[in-house]
């Protein structure tokens, strides 16, 4: 049972550490929870700036509903960073529901959002709790850009590009590969989810701020079609994205195709293990702390309607820091006021896009949105 109001599950990871760093900056007491005591202690003492003035404790917990429920009881919010979430998320959500705490995570997996919405959304709403998977740079920053563009009434179609620069973490690499290889990416067309053509391959995109075309993939479909599918203003959402590194983008479809071919006759368990091993060949160490001159984000949203258009671009830096900050702010906010929406909700739906933009701006992680409106 926790005597701190916030539990960070997966605190030893790259993102979990940053969540702890920003919780400390907001003055929020927390439990740094995970599966390995040495890694948790080492992560806190050596990788969380200012930890000596944080109010926290380290707790080891088994990854099952019973143990997690026991840990979450007494807390108000759980911030989960143990991904891939389609694989590891269900017991954490079940435990949050059983313990009566708000749940957020850092997913960018479209299939996990659909599962959360359809399987647990109503139960969380009935208890007055927030279920907000995906409070993270991908794709909350893009959602803020979309919401800013939608401040102009009469727009019903979102065409979204999301790009980032820098190294993915171990779990991010696993998540990208497992998600690309095992789930169907969707976009929203006239309020219906439609599967992307898996054979379409790389699509060149014109992105703001550079002359070179950027190569994009559906990137699992992203969170946007799911967040907007019950927004009465919006009928169509298509998102594409990837990394700025063109050579790496050329490699991604090949890595995924090779992994799919190699695992096609395997059991689910063996396939998971093989995909995890392939991901480890791509990335098997903690990336360095982010550098704003290297780690960049770009979210560009063209919103259109029959008689109008708006284009919103948000340039940012330090994508994992953006995620850590958004998570910490979500907890800080939930400790003081109910969310704007209970049950399944995005970051913007729960906390407001202007508020989240202000948070990212205050900490120097995104530029002022560049908004062009055609009346």
Ligand X SMILES: NC(=O)c1ccc[n+]([C@@H]2O[C@H](COP(=O)([O-])OP(=O)(O)OC[C@H]3O[C@@H](n4cnc5c(N)ncnc54)[C@H](OP(=O)(O)O)[C@@H]3O)[C@@H](O)[C@H]2O)c1
Contact region with ligand X (CB under 6 A), list: 29-37, 71-79, 239-247, 334-342: 29-37
- Name residues contacting ligand X, limited to 108-127 (CB under 6 A): 108
Which H or E run contains 198? none
26, 29, 51, 63: which one binds ligand X (CB under 6 A): 63
- CB-nearer residue toward ligand X: 74 or 91: 91
Q: Where are the beta strands (DSSP E) in 183-338?
A: 186-189, 192-195, 203-205, 214-216, 236-243, 296-305, 308-317
Q: How far is the CB of 126 from ligand X (least distance, A)?
A: 28
Closest residue by Cα to residue 243 from 202, 284, 211: 202
Complex with ligand X: residue 63 or 73, whichever CB lies closer: 63
Q: Which C-beta is closer to ligand X: that of 217 or that of 310?
A: 217
Between the alpha carbon of residue 253 and those of residues 53, 198, 228, 258, the distances in Å are 45, 10, 27, 8
CB 150 within 8 A of CB 250: no
Q: Does 347 bind ligand X (CB under 6 A)?
A: no
Q: Mark the segment that binds ligand X (CB under 6 A) among 13-21, 25-33, 114-122, 329-337.
A: 13-21
- Print the binding letters for residues 133-152 with ligand X: x by CB under 6 A, - otherwise: ---xxx--------------
The stretch among 50-58, 110-118, 164-172, 352-360 that binds ligand X (CB under 6 A) is: 164-172
Give the contacts of 242 (CB within 8 A, at least 6 positions apart): 163, 214, 215, 216, 217, 219, 249, 252
Residues composing the chain: 375
- DSSP H helical segments within 157-215, as ranges? 170-182
Please tell me the count of residues contacting ligand X according to CB under 6 A: 28
Choice between 83 and 241, CB closer to ligand X: 83
Q: Is 75 buried (19+), middle (13-18) or exposed (0-12) by CB count in 10 A?
A: buried
Binding status of residue 97 toward ligand X by CB under 6 A = no
Within 8 A by CB and 6+ apart from 199, the residues are: none
Taking the least distance from each CB to ligand X, the nearer of 39 and 229 is 39
Q: Which residue has the closest beta carbon to ligand X?
A: 83
The alpha carbons of the chain give a radius of gyration, in whole angstroms, of 20
What minimum distance in Å lies between the beta carbon of 227 and ligand X?
13
Is the N-terminal amide bond of 288 cis, ω within 30° of 0? Answer: no
Asked whether 77 and 9 are in contact (CB, 8 A), the reply is no
Instruction: For the chain, give the longest Cα–Cα distance.
Output: 59
Residue 346 in the binding site for ligand X (CB under 6 A)? no
What residues from 308 to 337 belong to the interface with ligand X (CB under 6 A)? Answer: 320, 323
Which CB atom, from 8 or from 313, has the smaller least distance to ligand X?
8
Query: By CB under 6 A, which span of 30-38, 146-154, 206-214, 332-340 interacts with ligand X?
Result: 30-38
- 10 is a contact residue toward ligand X (CB under 6 A): yes
- State which of positions 167-206 bind ligand X (CB under 6 A): 169-172, 175
State the pairing for strand pair 6-9/30-34.
Answer: parallel
Contacts with ligand X, residue ranges (CB under 6 A): 10, 12-16, 34-36, 39, 63, 81-84, 88, 106, 108, 136-138, 169-172, 175, 320, 323
């Amino acid at each position: 049972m926790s005597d701190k109001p916030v539990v960070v599950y997966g605190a030893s990871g790259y993102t979990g550490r940053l969540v702890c760093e920003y919780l400390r900056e907001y003055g929020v007491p927390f439990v740094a929870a995970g599966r390995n005591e040495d890694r948790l202690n080492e992560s806190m003492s050596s990788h969380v700036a200012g930890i000596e003035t944080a109010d926290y404790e380290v707790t080891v917990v088994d990854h099952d509903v019973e143990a997690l429920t026991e840990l979450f009881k007494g807390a108000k919010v759980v911030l989960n960073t143990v991904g891939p979430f389609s694989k590891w998320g269900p017991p954490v959500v079940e435990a949050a529901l059983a313990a009566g705490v708000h749940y957020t995570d850092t997913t960018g997996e479209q299939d996990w959002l659909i599962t959360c919405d359809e399987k647990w959304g109503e139960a969380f709403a009935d208890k007055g709790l927030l279920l907000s998977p995906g409070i993270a740079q991908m794709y909350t920053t893009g959602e803020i850009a979309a919401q800013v563009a939608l401040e102009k009434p009469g727009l019903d179609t979102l065409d979204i590009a999301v790009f980032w620069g820098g190294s993915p973490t171990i779990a991010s690499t696993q998540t990208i590969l497992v998600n690309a290889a095992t789930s169907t990416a969707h976009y929203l067309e006239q309020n219906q989810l439609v599967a992307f053509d898996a054979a379409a391959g790389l699509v060149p995109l014109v992105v703001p701020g550079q002359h070179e075309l950027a190569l994009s993939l559906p990137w699992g479909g992203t969170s946007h079609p799911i967040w907007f599918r019950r927004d009465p203003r919006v009928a169509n959402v298509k998102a594409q994205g990837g990394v700025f590194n063109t050579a790496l983008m050329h490699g991604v479809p090949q890595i995924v195709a090779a992994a799919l071919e190699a695992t096609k006759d395997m059991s689910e368990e063996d396939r998971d293990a093989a995909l995890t091993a392939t991901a480890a060949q791509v990335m098997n160490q903690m990336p360095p702390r982010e550098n704003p001159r290297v780690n960049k984000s770009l979210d560009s949203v063209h919103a259109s309607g029959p008689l109008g258009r708006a284009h919103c671009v948000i340039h940012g830096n330090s994508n994992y820091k953006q995620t850590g900050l958004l998570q910490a702010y979500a907890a800080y906010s939930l400790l003081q006021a109910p969310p704007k929406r209970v049950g399944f909700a995005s970051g913007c739906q729960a906390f407001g896009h202007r508020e989240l933009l202000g948070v990212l701006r205050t900490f120097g992680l995104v530029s002022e949105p560049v908004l062009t409106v055609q009346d």
